[in-house]
Chain A
Amino acid sequence: MRFITILVLFLLSFSTIAQQKRTISGYVSDAQTGERLYAASVYEQNSGIGTISNRFGFFSLTLKDGLANLKISFVGYQPQTKIISLSADTLLMFSLKSDNKLEEVVVKGNTNNKLADNSKLGHVKLSAKELAKLPSLMGEKDVMKSLMILPGVQQGSEGSSGIFVRGGSPDQNLILLDDVPLYNVSHLFGFVSVFTPEAINSIDFYKGGFPARYGGRLSSVIDLRMKDGNKFKRETSINLGLISSQFTTEGPIKKGESSYFFSVRRTLLDLLFKGVAKVAQYNMEEQSIPSYGFHDINGKINFKLNEKNHLYWSFYSGKDKLSFEYSDHMKDMQREETQEIFGSMHWGNVMTALKLNSQLSSKLFVNTTLSGSIFNYGNLFKGSTETIVGSEVSKSDFRLEYQSRIRSLGLKTDLDIYGNSNLPFQIGLFVSANNYLPGKQQVARNEGKDENSSGEISSLDYGVYLDKKFNLGEKLSFTVGLRNAFYSIHNKKTYFALEPRFSSTFRPNENTSYHASYAVMTQAIHLLSNGNVGLPTDIWVPSTKLIQPETSDIFSVGIKKSVPSGLKLSMEAYYKRLNHVISFTEGDGILDVDKNWEQKITVGNGRAWGLETEARYSNTRLESWIGYTLAWNERKFDDINKGRWFPYQYDRRHKLDLGIIMQLGNNWSCSSTWTYQSGAPATYTGVDYLAYPENSDYEAFDFFTGRAVDHSRIQYYNSINGVRLPAYHRLDIGFTKEWEKYGKKKALSISVYNVYSRQNPFLIYAKTKPDGSTGLKQFSLFPIIPSVSYRISF
């Protein structure tokens, strides 16, 4: 604690206010919608002093008395200049007009050098406008898939929206929606993410150089902000797509001050399933009706209390449900029997957050967030049979219910303290109370009942963070941060984590910058996964007395270079070390968490390193990029691979991404991406040996066929993940036409997924061939899929 105290005093010393200086503070927002703009540049052109608006659009700039020539700019918006005479602290509101015109959508590259200067390596920021440009997939633009085209980011199996960042696993990504963590962000078993693109205002994606305000996960941060809603006029849009349809409305509650946003998205697949099933089984005594559906509801209200205080309330609820109903009626001379069975599986997140923004002074901004989040997974299987023999009626019924859940309640306060350097000192306090139910199962048959539960586990996470950026002269800047977290598990064990963060930038000239960063991350929550498919049945468990939190050290260095013609180049190398990573040793752990779950886990280490390069070119009509990643990713567990290092299942040596977004004229635009990944490592042996004969009375059955398998032989592995599966590659292309008629904005999107119908591996399994030899079979999903969607806004 002494170290922290000294550090705080040291950092605060930078915040002393000089007598001859004045502070301009205020907000930067979108002129059309009133949405606050994060990371807008506020820059005094004579002195060269500037700052960046924070996540709520707030800025604070301290300048000397006299005339100030301010330039406010943000990518995709027309810059604004203002000259003011400074003689006192001043509050200013800036509204920037969008660059885009509907008549001709012009894709503009990032021509603002100042903004580029402030971006770090390992950090990508996407605004709503940039999201809107991305190619759609089956009529859906997907937030998570938009990140997969970045260097250092890999996707899992075909169709999965789980992402793997620099050697990490999907649970090592901190996914925040309005500062609230979400746990399962997939719909349709991973084909689309839960984030409705139209509801998202911005995404901050970090794969290194993590600010200290983020913690609790090892590999990446995906920080999404929902739209606040248009403060000036009401807008409604309807989007009809093949996978889902969506209704969005937003508008002012009090013009220019307060607004609302509401969006609902729903799949139509369940209606399709039911319709097909009913038609197919019309007039049949036996009926089997499957159904699958998902929905998302996003809502947000922002309310201006006064010039310096704002209240935000945001809400999200999403759910997937897979179900089937089965009924059968049988009647003969002796008896009549009616059987009814219902089964369902559902999972989803609910979150809500209440935020209070307060500008306590021109140099002090406080945001306090109270949040709650629930992730639920459950399944229900129930049925009844009624038998009538003569006048005797007998009934029997059964019910099986399974539930897994995480609940958390959080409170955090973030303070941005601005000093003379105009670079805020950020400090925050956080506390989160969590309750986990890894698994609970109830079974009942007629009168009998049985329950099997892992038991609930509670934890309390709390701590403090500090972050401060320094400029040392014109060319060198660095940010130091420290996050100090306590993870108190079930009142039995408290883990303490001290996480230093450091990043620096050396800029020898306007167009070149060198970067280095180091971060320690801790994760006290783990995902017990059933292989690499990313099913909702994967189970979240906390650290316990026996299972320590996972930790990582990430070190990266890189260079960025801009060429005035519009070309941007970047290269980054990283090394990541992971400790106490876990693996579910059972192999087939679906629905298998009980009191003994801690014994089914093995603990080991990981390491990942690689080189990421990217080139982007943009002009007024075209944006294109190429990204290449060379990476290694390994794991080591005492009881796997004889204790030796082996390639992790997400190790991909090469990854190449090509993308282009182009204006074609006549309001048409085209976007296309091609992605290539080396094949996944896998373990398939062609060697076995005799098991001890004592095991001969044992019985085991084939996963697919249910037939007895030969258990007299043991498969022998020389190495784990020693075989490479075929490479993954895919081309997607989309065309969009946007136009306006009778005051209504319309858009038609036509897209093709997997244009050349590449059969990418989804599952590989061994199968005995007709000649008796054993071979491998590849199961692929999603060949070429064309799609269309239509959107109308008014």
Chain B
Amino acid sequence: MKKYSIIVILLTLISCTKDLNLPFEKSDQTMVVNCLFSEDETWKVILTRVKSFSDQSDSFVEDARVSIVPESKDTIHLTYSKNGIYLSEEKPASGIQYQLVINNGTPGKITATSSIPVKPIISEIKPSTQNTIYYSNAKLSDYFVLPLDFKISANDEPNFVRFRLSTFNTKWGYTRYLVTKDTIAELRKMEFPEDFLSELEKLIGVSMNWSQQWKIIREIGEKYGLPFNGGIGIVISKLKEIKVKTRYEDSFQSGTIFSNSIGLNNVSKDIFNVLGEYRGMKDASLFVTYIPVLNKNHQTDYKEEYWLEVTGMSEDYYKYQKTYIKQVENKNNPFASVIEVHSNITNGVGIFAGYNRQKIHFYDY
């Protein structure tokens, strides 16, 4: 920013800011429905209400009657769990149209309809043998990337898809970190604050990956005013490190992914999702990040697996995801136009939509 300092100073001389007292819109208690469903999980519907900025917390809807009406099958009634969550033990199936019906004693039934779309077939997946530079319009920055070409096919109707990149590091991916009673005891001996230790105790039994341990411990440590050096760093060093054979989902790291081919592209400034639509079969071209971490010998001492996450989305889910990214990416951007997030809920807002997901291991570094 120093480069622009003089321009900023000159602008400051001729410009000024002041607070405005304009009335914000108030909450109208519209119901919010969140339900994305696939064959892999049982039914789960979350009901809340829209919230004014001045309200402290969300208002959960606890007394609604929530039903899923499958096309030519028996109605599924969901039961209330907690925090506005309604559950059923049944799983959705592909190819069936589902209608969500919510009654909560107010006039106007809340409804929505969706189904799980046809699963996209990925074939002829060919990672390039050479990396290249990709310049992202979104971030105005360049990235070392690996080009990835493949074919995607489904039916001749409009199909919607989202691609994400995951990497699995074989050195850190099988390592988990635990808070144990020994950890607490050691820290107590070192006279760490008791209120900090009692909060840390709640993590006993929680298995964390490499990045989670830093994030979680740092958050708690900062809450109790621990310095990084001589505080949080010591706590981290006292965690128990174990090796596991399971590939935990949270051990996969999100990677940046790009596309600029027709019909497939990043949305707004986002660099973690490529969204697109297609009919029949389509040649697809992606660029995935390629950031090897070299050791002192200019070599890697681990194997990194590259996975492509392919999500077949219903049209409503696709629109919801796209508009959501647009809105979030432009929060506080005074130059951006207003982005309304798509909703398919009649008499409410939110999303009720089906999807399917697959992960394809396509490359090892």
Give A residues with C-beta under 8 Å from B: 273, 276-277, 280, 286, 288, 290, 292, 324, 326, 341, 343, 398, 400, 441, 443, 445, 448-450, 452, 530-531, 533, 583-588, 590-592, 594-596, 599, 639-642, 683-695, 697-700, 702-704, 709, 711, 714-720, 722-726, 759, 762-767, 773-783, 785
Contacts and interface: CB of A to CB of B under 8 A. Distances in A.
Nearest to B336: A587
A587 B19 contact: no
Given A641-B340, A690-B58, A783-B16, A280 B334 contact: no
Interface in B237-277: 254, 260-263, 265, 267-270, 272-273
A764 B6 CA distance: 23
26 contacts: A280-B6, A288-B2, A288-B5, A341-B3, A400-B135, A443-B135, A450-B132, A452-B137, A585-B326, A585-B337, A587-B330, A588-B268, A588-B269, A591-B137, A596-B263, A640-B340, A686-B54, A692-B36, A693-B34, A700-B325, A700-B329, A703-B330, A703-B336, A764-B20, A776-B19, A778-B17
The 4 A-B residue pairs with the shortest CB-CB distance, nearest first, are A686-B24, A587-B336, A443-B135, A703-B333
Contacts of A722: 25
A686 B337 contact: no
B297 interface: no
B140 interface: yes
Contact of A450 (B142, B337, B338, B340): B142
B100 to A, nearest CB: 14
Given A777-B17, A780-B15, A766 B3 contact: no
Given A400-B135, A596-B263, A685-B25, 8 more contacts: A276-B6, A640-B338, A685-B24, A692-B350, A694-B36, A698-B325, A716-B349, A777-B18
A509 to B, nearest CB: 51
B341 A714 contact: yes
B121 interface: no
A476 B334 CA distance: 52
B337 A775 contact: no
Nearest to B29: A687
Contacts of A726: 20
Contacts of B27: 686-687
Contact of A698 (B22, B134, B328, B340): B328
A292 B40 CA distance: 59
A531 B335 contact: yes
Interface stretch (B43-51, B72-80, B101-109): B43-51
B153 interface: no
Majority secondary structure of chain A interface residues (helix, strand, loop or mixed): mixed
B22 A725 contact: yes
B198 interface: no
A279 B6 CA distance: 12
Q: Which of B5, B20, B260 has the most CB of A within 10 A?
A: B20
Given A326-B3, A591-B140, A594-B265, A687 B28 contact: yes
A412 B355 CA distance: 57
A688 B52 CA distance: 7
A196 B264 CA distance: 46
A591 B139 CA distance: 10
Contacts of B210: none
Nearest to A713: B51
A85 to B, nearest CB: 67
A441 B137 contact: yes
B16 A452 contact: no
A639 B335 CA distance: 20
Interface of B: 2-7, 10, 14-28, 30, 32, 34, 36, 46, 48-54, 58, 132-135, 137-138, 140, 142, 254, 260-263, 265, 267-270, 272-273, 320, 324-342, 349-351
B334 A592 contact: no
Contacts of B327: 714-715
B51 A687 contact: yes
Contacts of B49: 689
Contacts of B332: 702-704, 709, 765-767
A783 B137 contact: no
Given A693-B34, A725-B22, A763 B326 contact: no
Nearest to B142: A443
Contacts of B336: 530-531, 587-588, 703
B53 A773 contact: yes
B14 A782 contact: yes
Nearest to A682: B22
Nearest to A779: B17
Contact of A445 (B7, B17, B30, B133): B133
A775 B50 contact: no
Contacts, number: 242
A692 B34 contact: yes
Contacts of A776: 19-22
Contacts of B36: 692, 694
Nearest to B134: A450
A392 B75 CA distance: 75
Contacts of A691: 34, 324
Contact of B50 (A583, A584, A688, A692): A688
A773 B30 contact: no
Contacts of A694: 36
Given A586-B326, A587-B330, A694-B36, A687 B26 contact: yes
B225 to A, nearest CB: 20
A240 to B, nearest CB: 21
A202 to B, nearest CB: 34
Contacts of A762: 15
Nearest to A785: B14
Contacts of A759: 16, 18
Contacts of A324: 3-4
A530 B333 CA distance: 11
Nearest to A723: B22
Contacts of A774: 24, 53
B16 A595 contact: no
Contacts of A709: 328, 331-332
B145 to A, nearest CB: 9
A683 B338 CA distance: 7
Contacts of B4: 290, 324
A777 B133 contact: no
B337 A584 contact: yes
B294 to A, nearest CB: 17
A149 to B, nearest CB: 23
A605 to B, nearest CB: 17
Given A290-B3, A778-B18, A595 B337 contact: no
A763 B44 CA distance: 42
Nearest to A281: B6
B18 A718 contact: no
Contacts of B51: 687-689
A587 B337 contact: yes
B215 to A, nearest CB: 12
| B36, B261, B335 pick with most chain A CB within 10 angstroms | B335
